[in-house]
Chains A and B, each alone.
Chain A
């Protein structure tokens, strides 16, 4: 039902006939068409490798309408303890395919609307989503307010049980405000509220329950609450230090009704050492508290398993540190938004889960090669 309502709203927003019937003069966008392609390879010391090709394109359908499309895949192979049970130590192979189609409509010189549909498919999980948004430039374009509503409906399956098809749905409302604080500085404030409901467990994960009086252990399916409400807020400053050196710094706070709270701080330095070369270096630190029902070990209580139990390490205490280096080179084109650009990005991440006995640390490396062509 939520999705049906969202589709109807999307149709109403994405098809404003006025936008085609009353075109305004071109605002001077540098390119009408843009194509992007990237390949990311993620590998970690938990024997997981994910190869993710991605391609996208956008083009102006008229002076006021921009259409965009993209497709991507995650080709997963590995033997992580997250997905391989003790009884079956064989590695997994899986492919997730996703695609999106969107439109952005300039409703006036200062107001735009956008709609986007997303689908994702893998052998045991399907997802359909819709996103509606709008942006308003205020105060002579010194202020931008952006509102976005996203809704999705998923079906969770299990490759060993063809009859399983459990619903999992979610809605997210995001309000963003960007303010120019002077000729060298932007400040962004983003507030994001989400609701997830339905089958929020993993279809595969089981939890060992220990009998404190005997050496016996039994394994039962994971059980978590079927509703999760979360709120996140971000504050960011973007400042030019010189004409060719920029710094971005942000802080994000997150809280949900499962008692998880998290803090994220990150900073990025962007430099242009040469005319056609842009380099970005960033660092990120993330720390979260555990869900109130998360335990490193669950024991029988009065002879029964606890009603809520999980072995999902993401619901326990954790932290991560990320370092990223990106080099971007313009091969052709007279301006930053024209021609062909190539970029290479390396990301190193260290995850720590102090309350997850099976594995307390993991190191990962992700390399991305990307190309953007505007013409």
Chain B
């Protein structure tokens, strides 16, 4: 558990640091804003599938996602 927590914290830190190096300009974001790039493609359908997994399996969690950061708005 402690090792996993340390690994997770490192992964979050590494991803955050990468964010400082990578800049996608607004005019490059057409593909990132496409519905096919959304983490939740069909939210209602995926909720049903996730519900089945949670009922049948012994573990859960970490299925969520952040908003996507595409800057489409």
Contact = CB atoms under 8 A, between A and B. Distances in A.
Contacts of A368: 44-45, 48-49
A240 B38 CA distance: 11
Contact of A231 (B8, B35, B58): B8
Interface residues of B, number: 52
Contact of A180 (B1, B52, B70, B73): B70
A322 B22 CA distance: 35
A262 B29 CA distance: 35
A80 to B, nearest CB: 11
Contacts of A178: 39, 65-69
B24 A182 contact: yes
Interface in A137-151: 137-146, 148
Chain B CB within 10 Å, residue with most, of A140, A177, A236 = A177
A40 B31 contact: no
Interface in B52-73: 52-53, 56-71, 73
Interface stretch (A6-14, A59-67, A189-197, A204-212): A189-197
A67 to B, nearest CB: 17
A174 B18 CA distance: 21
Interface size bracket, A side: 35 or more
Contact of B66 (A145, A246, A326, A349): A145
Contacts of A315: 58
A318 B58 contact: yes
Interface in A271-294: 271-272, 278, 280, 286, 288, 291
Contacts of A364: 52
Contact of A314 (B18, B58, B65): B58
B12 to A, nearest CB: 6
A336 B18 CA distance: 31
B69 A280 contact: no
A370 B22 contact: no
Contact of B11 (A140, A233, A244): A233
Interface stretch (A161-169, A252-260, A296-304): A252-260
Contact of B22 (A141, A181, A328): A181
B44 A56 contact: yes
Given A27-B73, A177-B15, A144 B45 contact: no
A146 B4 contact: no
Interface string B1-37: 1001101110110011011101110001101101111
A113 B68 CA distance: 16
